[in-house]
Amino acid sequence: MSDNTPDEPLPSPQLWFVYLVRAANGSLYCGISDDPYKRFAKHQSGKGARFFYSSPAVALVYIESAASKSEALRRERAIKRLKKTAKEALVLGWQALQANSPENSSETQPSA
């Protein structure tokens, strides 16, 4: 007789992220990571991509989640093919979303 319930819970799928980092010279670097904030810290410390050897990483300006590493790689490839103006539009859209998120809202509730 077979038992259809696993002994251990199935691991939850790991999210991956595509991110853009602005360099000191204004250029944008696109990469993927399972922890974009940790990866950005590596870029800032000089232990990340060679891209930042000539112009240091100054800001993490865009993050997009992906369901898998392969999906993140596909999206990274697509973003890298975009013109700089299109990448800047992604950044502006993401920053607008961040500014309007409930955690960042500075509006107060009207008093009664």
In tens, the pLDDT along 5-43 reads 556 666 667 899 999 999 999 999 999 999 999 999 999
Report the helix count and the strand count for the chain, using DSSP H and E.
3, 3
Closest to 67 in 3D by CA, of 18, 13, 11, 10: 13
Give the Cα separation of 22 and 77 in Å (integer). Answer: 18
Q: Does pTM surpass 0.75? A: yes
Average pLDDT over residues 36-55: 92
Catalogue all structural domains in the chain, each as residue range(s) with its CATH number: 16-86 (3.40.1440.10)
